[in-house]
Structure 1
Amino acid sequence: MTELLSIILAAGEGTRMKSALPKVLHPVGGLPVVSHVLRTVQSFGSQVAVVIGPSHEAVEAAVTRFEASAQISKQVDRLGTAHAVQQARAAYDAAPGHVLVLYADTPLVTAGTISQIVEKLDAGADMVVVGFRPDNPTGYGRLLTDGGRVRAIREHKDASDEERLIDLCNSGIIGFRGDTLRGVIDRIGNQNSKGEYYLTDAVELANGDGKRVDFIEADARELVGVDNREKLAEAEATFQAFKRKEAMDNGVTLRDPHSVWFSWDTELGRDVTVFPNVVFGPGVRIADNVEIRAFCDIEDAVIGEGASIGPFARIRGGAELGRDVHLGNFVEVKKSKIGAGTKAGHLSYLGDAEIGSKTNIGAGTITCNYDGTNKDKTVIGDSVFIGSNASLVAPVTIGDRAYTASGSVITEDVPADALALGRARQVNKPGYAPQLRERALAKKAAKGK
């Protein structure tokens, strides 16, 4: 495939977001919108140049964190899209192949659309414009076409009444042969209602040079631009719809698809069943034949084959759950490794722990991992029985096949095969209960209740 340079325009302030955070850093599916675009072009092995605003250090940091080799340029004066592209001159002057211009606030553009652009350029087109048909074309530039060619792109403000009836709109994404871009970019003027340099004027200039300007039509859903909170929500909804379909196409059962939320990197195996109201944060990998019951919140976690999770479980912080692990209702696991076949049925917190296989964690168990300053580790061996309502005060190790009595506070290591009791001895006082009741009733009467 011909070498590809992707110029991503990210200089907009996004004032309509009403946010201190630059618009391209708002997340969709747990990933900044600009990183979605980077991820798509990375799949083609593309070189990357990003044009940012003058005070967008946070954007630059996010871009280089995701693509260390990205060339960063700044657009100090915002004089239009062609002017923005010119800021990446060092990148496109050296580009030996095709140049793709995209927008950092259009996170859902797919690899399929990029492939179509590249294929047309490889087949002889000099420019390829991406069009789409929105439900309401007001405000969008219109593609003026003749057969499979584009004659011009007319901005909405500059379009005639007849041209505004056209529903094929400009997405802003354009592919160029490198020599075509270099031949037209500096000839673009600003004779329009806004006095800006529009990259779309390259179409008429290229046609005047006898170049071939093609277009493709993409799904309008993937071309939503995030420039306000409503569009951010629309992009999130579309992203979730794509991910739900992808999951089901790959063998996942979603009991109520619309209530399950995915992150950009969620990986689910085959024959996974996900019940309603489950949220997957970033960094989740789930093996085959896992059941995730309702109202679970899972992020930064690996879950082994055959596991059963929830309902109302929270798994996070680099947790690793082995094969056939069972975590029941209201169990939280943070930064812990749990071995195959281990069970924690209900109402437990397991943080900073390493738990072996076939161990039983009783209801109400807490690994007390934080002393107010430091966090320490709890190690529990294989085939251990932790009685209900146990507090395991880290750092502590409980050996294989050991028992801890219900209600115990374990502060010292427990050897293998030992029984540990960390509670006060029970004392029974016969006949004392009626006296307690009488006292309670007297106290209530004194209050006039």
Structure 2
Amino acid sequence: MTISQRPLAAIILAAGQGTRMKSARHKVLHPVAGRPMLLHLLEAVEALGVDRKVVVVGSGREQVEAAVAGKGVSIAVQDRQLGTGHAVAQAHDALAGFAGDVLILYGDVPLVRTETMRAMVERLNRGDEPRAVVLGFRPDDAAAYGRIVADAQGVIAKMVEYKDASSEERAITLCNSGLMAVRSSDLFVLLDRIGNDNAAGEYYLPDIVMLPGATSAVIETDADEVAGVNSRAELAGVERIWQDRRRAEAMREGVTLIAPETIFFSHDTKLERDVVVEPHVVFGPGVTVEEGAVIHSFSHIEGAIVRKGAEIGPYARLRPGAQIGVKAKVGNFVEIKKAVLGDGAKANHLSYIGDADVGAGANIGAGTITCNYDGFFKYRTQIGAGAFIGSNSALVAPVKVGDGAIVAAGSVLTADVSADALALVRPAQTEKPGWAKRFRTAMQERKAKR
């Protein structure tokens, strides 16, 4: 139930072909911050506490259906593109028996906040009980948006599509986002009454506002919140808006972003207070960074947990399954994948640690790699607490290095090493006196004869 104590449903329109995206992917499934636009909108709807969710699909419906599978969404199909009013009407059967309020949203307008949706429903249930509540905005350039003529209390006198507006109406700055709240008892009755006598020959959803018999109201929001996506350029614009929001939120929560405009978050990035993020860092999905950790410049982190006080980078890559312990250090040009780096452990330079467990306080020397793949299967490497792995070593998994053991630099390890032992796996060094000088002389003579 919503705060109005009336059931609430949401209809999300996602039937457009999205031809301007020039993509095999359905428009509403293009990602913002690593998550499809449609799923951003569904998350905001779910936070509102809706009883029913209906997505209206058309072209590319199989992709949309797969994306919302298991999310409690009903599917309605618009076979022909006859306008927004016609699209909403296709949700009739999915809402059979529903009595409450209905939010009408757009799958390619993904940044609408739960709070804004709530404000629309509250206005619908205010004492004057408008027929519909329209979400309006005032863009810097009103362009071809439909216009809203309203009084100081937000009561709508007229709504008109840009193509059908007069020059005086086009001068109005209050625009129609297309989002609307309507009572279910009114919605489909009103849709049956609208016609398509307009420049496009379509059934416009906003036309229900102008039907005689009741008044409607408008509430306003920022233009950024109702930014829509019809092209790659507009997708990039929505990404920018989302990232700017998230950066501001992170800093309000006590995170230091030294150059905020260079940091890119995923939809689910979690940073605790006193985390410091240096310039040019990218967070992929599934990242948690705990209090006091430092992420140095040019690092890329995805599917990883960074514990308190750890340091990452610069130029580090943490891949899915990486777990970096308290006050551990992952340095420059180090890649960690599906591996645990224990508390206080260090991998400071030029290493690949994959499918491994590294004990607390262990030190991984420069150029070390875990050889975890034989072309068919992956194998794990275990490195004990306090162990020291010398530079330029290759640990051929499956292999185990015991606590406190030392692996000498340049070793190729193919067998387990006991705790506190020294493993030295390289041929004895030999020397041939004068060989280098004789070699240079011979080669110079040979070159002179050419």
TM-score of the pair, normalised by structure 1: 0.95
Aligned to 1:24: 28
Q: Deviations over 1:387-437 (max 9, x none)?
A: 110101111111111111100001111122221122111112233332343
Q: Deviations over 1:123-146 (max 9, x none)?
A: 243421000111111210001212
Q: RMSD in angstroms over aligned alpha carbons? A: 1.5
1:3 equivalent among 4, 7, 32: 7
Distance 1:209 1:391 in 2: 80
Offset, 1:209: 2.2
1:138 equivalent among 139, 143, 156: 143
- Aligned-residue sequence identity (percent) comes to 51
Offset, 1:115: 2.0
Q: Secondary structure at the match of 1:83?
A: helix
State the number of aligned residues: 442
Distance 2:99 2:363 in 1: 62
Distance 1:168 1:89 in 2: 30
Structure 1: segments with no counterpart, 5+ residues? none
Matches within 5 A, 1:22-421: 22-46=26-50, 47-64=52-69, 67=71, 69-124=72-127, 125-126=129-130, 127-147=132-152, 148-205=154-211, 208-210=212-214, 212-421=215-424
Distance 1:143 1:5 in 2: 25
Change in CA separation of 1:417 and 1:128 when aligned onto 2, cut-off 3 Å: same
Asked if structure 2 preserves the Cα contact closer than 8 Å seen for 1:268 and 1:287, the reply is yes
Asked if structure 2 preserves the Cα contact closer than 8 Å seen for 1:80 and 1:196, the reply is yes
Asked if structure 1 preserves the Cα contact closer than 8 Å seen for 2:16 and 2:59, the reply is no
Q: Secondary structure at the match of 1:79?
A: coil
Offset, 1:338: 1.4
Offset, 1:95: 2.4
Structure 2: segments with no counterpart, 5+ residues? none
Offset, 1:273: 0.7
Change in CA separation of 1:92 and 1:153 when aligned onto 2, cut-off 3 Å: farther
Asked if structure 2 preserves the Cα contact closer than 8 Å seen for 1:152 and 1:201, the reply is no
Distance 2:262 2:395 in 1: 36
Aligned to 2:432: 429
Asked if structure 1 preserves the Cα contact closer than 8 Å seen for 2:26 and 2:60, the reply is no
Moved more, 432-441 or 55-64: 432-441
Distance 1:194 1:233 in 2: 29
Asked if structure 2 preserves the Cα contact closer than 8 Å seen for 1:338 and 1:357, the reply is yes
Offset, 1:201: 0.6
Q: Deviations over 1:287-328 (max 9, x none)?
A: 110100000011111110101000000001221111111011
Asked if structure 1 preserves the Cα contact closer than 8 Å seen for 2:17 and 2:59, the reply is no
Q: Deviations over 1:25-51 (max 9, x none)?
A: 111111111111111111112231101
Asked if structure 2 preserves the Cα contact closer than 8 Å seen for 1:98 and 1:175, the reply is yes
Q: Deviations over 1:85-109 (max 9, x none)?
A: 1111123333232100000001111
Look up the equivalent residue of 1:239 and give its one-letter code: W
Distance 2:443 2:252 in 1: 63
